[in-house]
Amino acid sequence: MQNHLLTIAESVMLLPLLGAVLAGVFGKQLGRNGAHRVTVSLIAIAFFLSVYLVYAVVWQNQPAVSGDLYTWVVSGRAHFAIGILLDRLSAVMVCIVSFISLAVHIYTIGYMADDDGYQRFFSYVSLFTFAMFTLVLANSFLLMFFGWEGVGFVSYLLIGFWFGRDSAVFGSLKAFIVNRVGDVGFILALAAILLMFGSLDYGIVFPHAASVANQTIRVLPGVTVPALGLISVLLFIGAMAKSAQVPLHVWLPESMEGPTPISALIHAATMVTAGIYMIARCSWLFEYSPHTLSLILVLGGTTAFFMGILAINQTDIKRVIAYSTISQLGYMAVGLGASAYDAAIFHLVTHAFFKALLFLAAGSVILALHHEQDMRKMGGLARRLPITCFTFIVGALALSALPPFAGFYSKDAIIEAVHLSTTPGAHYAYYCVLAGAFLTPLYIFRAVWLTFYGTYRGEHDVGHVKESPWVVTFPLVLLAIPSVIAGYILAAPMLYDAPRLLGNSIFVLPQHAIYGEMVSSWPGAWQAALAAIHAPTFWLVIVGIIFSWLITMTLPRSGEFFKKRFRLLAWMIDNKYGFDALNQHILARGARALGRFFYTISDLILIDGIFVNGSGRGIRWLARVSRRLQTGHLYHYAFAMVAGLAILLLWLLW
């Protein structure tokens, strides 16, 4: 049975790769219809196989299984193998990723119908899915890093898909460079893990984490730090970039320059959640580093609150949702820092549904308005786009965590968990996420009112605006259903029932365990939704929705009033707290300066100057010297022979 499950997991991982190769290499032969039929069919098969894996591992309670596919390198005592780990965590993640990817593939048929790079886009999306499957199913840090870099590379191709636009090229380069900063931390963490454990295999590293907990590692002569503390901090640096935590969040809004389908795929359950998944997977390491957990709490809370403020100021509908993604990733990070890994993954799952729904619904609006993204040029579209409007509101309610929508159960679980946590920094994080409960409905319903209600303010004739075709609206309905019911269905098995759905995939030290108090106060899914009226978060959501209506529909000039009365604060928000400028000066200019340095030293001086041109100059010099020795006079040759014989005799006699 275990070998059978491993074979299915391997098939799930390789099916998107097959689709990417077929659509990319044989795209012209397949044609546009053939490319999407092949890739959609293979992703659909992968999704149904992943559902079977969840059924076998979770409902049939099959034990976790890990197996090596082949050995890559053996160096001394180090053994590097490529293998798969199928447990409850990886099975749930693969199922969610495949479902979102399938919805995006179907949606792409309609959204990219008139694009010249149709086959190429399907190839990239399938390749992106393969890289994410590889990251999730890896049984070692080695293969995880391959998937980690894979999603980064393919995201660069997808964000810059319309490479004729300068903004798309800039956005893809920014995403690539910022993620390379995080990757430095990830690579150093792998080196430290290999040094301390002698392996990169999860099956060796995680069970021996406790034995390494009290060991130190020397970072400088005479300077030692706790080994697991250093490893966990370096891993979190990698997660900060991939999952867009302050200050390495600046790439994610720029990723909106890519086509909307990939915005949904990157921001929902794939690339940006890779860092969240990685920390949950490595809970054995993070649990022995309380200082790192405090750091995650503080940065997660900061991200949740301050990025939510920036979302209020956006006029691009996709950028509102992008900053919302950053804020929600902050919630997930707070859950991780509070050792509520199950709650963080629960929010990752529900967030995947409603965030993909919001992006695809926004794409439907953009498609109907001839690729207009400025909300100031929208309005009054509810009657013209009824399905899009309805599904967008469903996503907005789920994002706002209004009961009984999906986001209510997962977001409230994180807020309660951090409230109960005793980890330093938990109080700060609690007030940040509590304030975020007000900010979330404020910015997302501002987008609802500006886009679908009021009067139409666009440049195009509103009479020609009509609902998107079924290949666009069908994924919206498909995603709207779990956005409503997923939290109700999954809350008990994910968090409150024993054993919890993720089981032994997650490790929590007894002193960090907080689920006992949460379980004792859990009244049940439906009762929790009814009792939410007594919770402060519920009223923060209601006030946020009402306030968004007031400032958007009845007091449209309130923004100008705010900017005049609070100029410094308005300037900080307009400039995004200076993070973009700081990263532009340090990372972008620094990367260019470093590139010029290596170009001058490595290329011009070493390669061209010494090896290429230098070798030619050396040969010419040797030829000139040799030519002078060949004079043509007999007495010169006789003298050279006598001198050489004399030197030889002296050497022998000596």
Query: DSSP string covering 387-421, please?
Result: HHHHHHHHHHHHHHT-TTSHHHHHHHHHHHHHHH-
Higher pLDDT, 253 or 131: 131
What average pLDDT does the segment 56-71 reach? 86
Specify the pLDDT at position 1.
Answer: 59
The DSSP output letter for 210 is H
Residue 570 has pLDDT above 80, yes or no: no
What does the alpha-carbon distance between residue 83 and residue 105 come to, in Å, rounded to a whole number? Answer: 28
Beta-carbon-side half-sphere exposure of residue 179 (alpha carbons within 13 Å)? 26
Q: Count CB neighbours of 47 within 10 A.
A: 22
What does the alpha-carbon distance between residue 50 and residue 339 come to, in Å, rounded to a whole number? Answer: 27
Specify the pLDDT at position 581.
Answer: 76
What does the alpha-carbon distance between residue 511 and residue 262 come to, in Å, rounded to a whole number? Answer: 41
Specify the pLDDT at position 52.
Answer: 93
Specify the pLDDT at position 178.
Answer: 84
What does the alpha-carbon distance between residue 347 and residue 99 come to, in Å, rounded to a whole number? Answer: 16
Residue 635 has pLDDT above 70, yes or no: no
Q: Count CB neighbours of 24 within 10 A.
A: 17
> pLDDT class for 243, splitting at 50, 70, 90?
confident
Specify the pLDDT at position 483.
Answer: 92
Sign (positive/negative) of CA torsion 316, 318, 323, 328?
positive
The residue type at 122: F
Share of the chain above pLDDT 70, in %: 96
CB 112 within 8 A of CB 100: no
Report how far apart, in Å, the C-alpha atoms of 645 and of each of 396, 630, 632, 649 are.
97, 19, 20, 6
Specify the pLDDT at position 432.
Answer: 93
Higher pLDDT, 337 or 112: 337
Specify the pLDDT at position 188.
Answer: 93
Report how far apart, in Å, the C-alpha atoms of 237 and of each of 265, 270, 345, 508, 570 are.
23, 18, 19, 21, 30
- CB environment 221-247: b (16+ within 10 A), e (fewer): eeeeebbbbbbbbbbbbbbbbbbbbbb
When the pLDDT of each residue in the chain is averaged and rounded to a whole number, the result is 86
CB 299 within 8 A of CB 245: yes
Q: Count CB neighbours of 192 within 10 A.
A: 20
Tokens of 237: 């640096």
Residue 259 has pLDDT above 80, yes or no: yes
What average pLDDT does the segment 120-133 reach? 91
CB 335 within 8 A of CB 344: yes
Specify the pLDDT at position 71.
Answer: 83
Residue 331 has pLDDT above 90, yes or no: yes
Tokens of 250: 């600046």
> pLDDT class for 559, splitting at 50, 70, 90?
low
Specify the pLDDT at position 347.
Answer: 92
What does the alpha-carbon distance between residue 333 and residue 316 come to, in Å, rounded to a whole number? Answer: 26
**Radius of gyration of the chain from its Cα atoms, rounded to whole angstroms:** 29
> pLDDT class for 220, splitting at 50, 70, 90?
confident
Higher pLDDT, 567 or 390: 390
What average pLDDT does the segment 194-216 reach? 88
Between 183-187, 317-321, 457-461, the lowest mean confidence (pLDDT) is in: 457-461
Tokens of 623: 């030829």
What average pLDDT does the segment 41-53 reach? 93
What does the alpha-carbon distance between residue 564 and residue 124 come to, in Å, rounded to a whole number? Answer: 46
Between 326-335, 394-403, 469-478, 508-517, the lowest mean confidence (pLDDT) is in: 508-517
Query: DSSP string covering 459-513, please?
Result: SS-GGG--PPPHHHHHHHHHHHHHHHHHHHHHHIIIIISSS-TTGGGS---GGG-
Share of the chain above pLDDT 90, in %: 33
What average pLDDT does the segment 536-565 reach? 81
Q: What would the pLDDT profile of 269-302 be if each residue is shown by its tens digit?
A: 578 888 999 999 999 999 999 999 999 999 999 9
What does the alpha-carbon distance between residue 399 and residue 251 come to, in Å, rounded to a whole number? Answer: 22
CB 279 within 8 A of CB 200: no
Q: What would the pLDDT profile of 581-601 be if each residue is shown by its tens digit?
A: 777 777 667 777 777 887 788
What does the alpha-carbon distance between residue 314 and residue 172 come to, in Å, rounded to a whole number? Answer: 20
What does the alpha-carbon distance between residue 47 and residue 1 come to, in Å, rounded to a whole number? Answer: 20
Q: What would the pLDDT profile of 135-184 be if each residue is shown by its tens digit?
A: 999 999 999 999 999 988 888 888 888 877 777 888 888 888 888 888 99
Tokens of 116: 């010249």
> pLDDT class for 65, splitting at 50, 70, 90?
confident
Residue 47 has pLDDT above 90, yes or no: yes
Report how far apart, in Å, the C-alpha atoms of 178 and of each of 156, 255, 286, 298 are.
11, 12, 24, 21
Between 196-210, 351-365, 453-467, 501-515, the lowest mean confidence (pLDDT) is in: 453-467
CB 494 within 8 A of CB 342: yes
What average pLDDT does the segment 404-425 reach? 90
Element (H, E) at 563: helix 558-565
Q: What would the pLDDT profile of 497-516 be if each residue is shown by its tens digit?
A: 877 888 888 988 888 888 77
